[in-house]
Amino acid sequence: MKIDDASYLSTSNEQANGTLVLPSIERGQLSIVQVEPEDTLEAVLAVLEQHGRPAIIVLPERGPIFSQAEDFIRLKQSSTPAIISFVIPRERMSSVAKFAYNEGFAFTSSLAKAKALFLQPRPDQHSGFLAPPTEDLIPQQTNASSHRRENTQRQTPLTNGTGQDTGEYEPLQMPRAGYDPVTPLPTTQIPSSPRKQHSRKGRQLIPLVGAVSLLVIASAVLLPMLFTQSGPSPLIVRSHQDTHSTASIGQVSFTNSGQLDPNSNTGLNDIVSLNLAGLKEPPAGMSLYAWLLSDKTQDTIAPIPLGKLQVVGGKAQLSYQHPQHADLLVNYSRFLITEQPSSVTPSSPPLDEKTWRYQGSFPDAPAPGDEQGYSLLSHVRHLLAKDPTLTRLGLSGGLDVWLYRNTSKIFEWSNAARDDWAGDNTDLLRRQVDRVVQYLDGQVYAWRDLPANTPWLVDPKAGRPGLIDFATGPQQGPGSYLSHVRLHLTGMVNAPGHTDAQKQLASKIDTALTQVETVLKQVRKDAIQLAKMSDTQFKSQEALTLLNDMQVNASKAYIGQNGGTTGSVLGVVWIHDTIQQLAQMTITIATPGDAGKP
């Protein structure tokens, strides 16, 4: 299961060159929950309830979850936040959509449609659910004659069903839908964090008399000013001066589309978003063009045209998504805006420095005293794009995504183990507990905490490093994911060129990592005790107490906890979202011969 912030979503009017209009969903306003085939309904319900945001649920192309009516009934009866819609693959639309429709859930065939549904709520919204939109496909029913069916070609959903941990040697057994444990089990109470609420008020009609009055007043004030001023207004002069200062005019950010493949870095850092202000509008017949450039040492990698900027009031926003969802942060670290004729779309940036207007880059100067010669760019890439240690293990992507994936597995297995206790399934229960220990300890150390002859049950590549450190020296094997992430955060804030915003984010992330480490150590303590129990002991109340504690702490580590008697914990979901914000370039006025040079 993967949780993304929906702010990366682009609108449906995609241009032919891959350029997208920047999304209008604000960060923290909506979540996207991408369900994987092996996820259990209980795990999905727990994530939705504890995450505390409205959500769009993206279903995989295949799998038992949400394949029958009981799953949707249980979701509706749960205390989850509003479900904006389901994104159902076309292959499953005919078999699944009717269940969503019968329970009052909206459904679409793409994230673009789901976003539109969120931004334009329907008047028939009730009880936190949205009735299915009439423009979407409604499955044929006996009383469906009153519903319209859409005949236009539908888009392929963003999920492709490959975002799963394919390294598992044995798939988890799915509990049957509608299954209720025979023993009441406590639920994890994690109140949602207070977030800015965005109201959507309808347009109000202005009375005709009021409009006329405002027009008269405005005319009386503005007309004399228009006739008395002989030169440009002070605002225009200040704007002109600001655009020629060396101050930042905005940022370029790398984000993920969410189309992840555990066997490659596809879907990581495949979106580049621009948010600029203080731009000088180009003269007639000229336009501003944005370019993504490779490292200065990689001259053979061609620049990527991000598209033409539409400057309005000195501001421009743009979002580019790579067509093959390649990880752009692996090879690209510079940004350039050029001013060129509008008549012909350029295919590459010009060498003439007089055409350069704005530029940015990740600082690549090595940190003083760093034996490895790492720069800020190096540390950002190790965290988010490509880490040499992981590459040697055969793992694609940066440290952050594997910390995120493995912690999500701990959360999933801890929930499943507690359910297996209620179902009196000791064989599955033991396997879930063994998996938890193996991912926490790492492959080199796990055998010391597990009974003799325990088989290795998890991905040997992803499970080679442990999630946390608990042993000194080389006993544990490769450094843990958590300590490795902290190492590069420290290196980044000590490297030349970091911004105050990056330093503040790194400090917050470091605090969150300490909190996660504390609760994961408690998960490990519980799991080791459980792993040493006999089948008879597994059925005891003592085992249930340990399972409950393990599940609560696994939930804190992954999702987090706000407030309460035990205090707040910022989980790995928050860490994952926040580390991504470090992949941001500051954009300034172009200086000939500097980092923006193609």
The mean pLDDT value for 286-315 works out to 94
Q: Which two tokens mark 400?
A: 């952050």
The mean pLDDT value for 324-341 works out to 95
**Antiparallel, parallel or unpaired: β 31-34 and 55-58:** parallel
Looking at residue 281, the DSSP 8-state letter turns out to be P
Give the distance from CA 399 to its chain's centroid. Answer: 15
Q: Is the pLDDT of residue 223 over 70?
A: no
Cβ neighbour number for residue 582 with a 10 Å cutoff: 25
> What does the pLDDT look like over 402-442, one tens digit per residue?
999 999 999 999 999 999 999 989 999 999 999 999 999 99
Evaluate whether 579 touches 319 at the Cβ level (below 8 Å). no
Enumerate the β-bridge partners of residue 338.
289, 356
Evaluate whether 550 touches 530 at the Cβ level (below 8 Å). yes
Q: What is the mean pLDDT of the chain?
A: 76
pLDDT of residue 593: 58
3-class state of residue 379 by DSSP: helix
Evaluate whether 22 touches 317 at the Cβ level (below 8 Å). yes
Cα distances from 303 to residues 33, 152, 331, 397, 434, in angstroms, run 33, 36, 10, 22, 48
pLDDT of residue 311: 94
Cα–Cα dist 549/527, whole Å: 10
The mean pLDDT value for 299-317 works out to 93
Q: Which two tokens mark 430?
A: 């033991």
pLDDT of residue 108: 83
> What does the pLDDT look like over 515-540, one tens digit per residue?
999 999 999 999 999 999 999 999 99
Give the angle 20-21-24 at the CA atoms, nearest 5°.
130
The mean pLDDT value for 252-266 works out to 82
> What does the pLDDT look like over 74-111, one tens digit per residue?
888 887 777 878 888 877 877 787 788 778 888 887 77
pLDDT of residue 79: 74
pLDDT of residue 442: 93
Q: Is the pLDDT of residue 14 over 60?
A: no
Classify burial at 314, counting beta carbons within 10 Å of its beta carbon; exposed 0-12, middle 13-18, buried 19 or more. middle
Cα–Cα dist 281/100, whole Å: 49
Sign of CA dihedral 526, 532, 537, 539: positive
> What does the pLDDT look like over 342-386, one tens digit per residue?
999 999 999 899 999 999 999 999 988 888 899 999 999 999 999
Query: Which is more confidently placed, 414 or 53?
Result: 414
Of 1-5, 346-350, 567-571, 590-594, the one with minimum mean pLDDT is: 590-594
pLDDT of residue 198: 38
Break the chain down into helix, strand, coil percent, rounded to 5. Answer: 35, 15, 50
Of 34-48, 131-145, 232-246, 371-385, the one with minimum mean pLDDT is: 232-246
> What does the pLDDT look like over 175-217, one tens digit per residue?
333 323 333 333 433 333 333 333 333 334 334 334 434 443 4
Percentage of residues in the chain having pLDDT higher than 70: 71
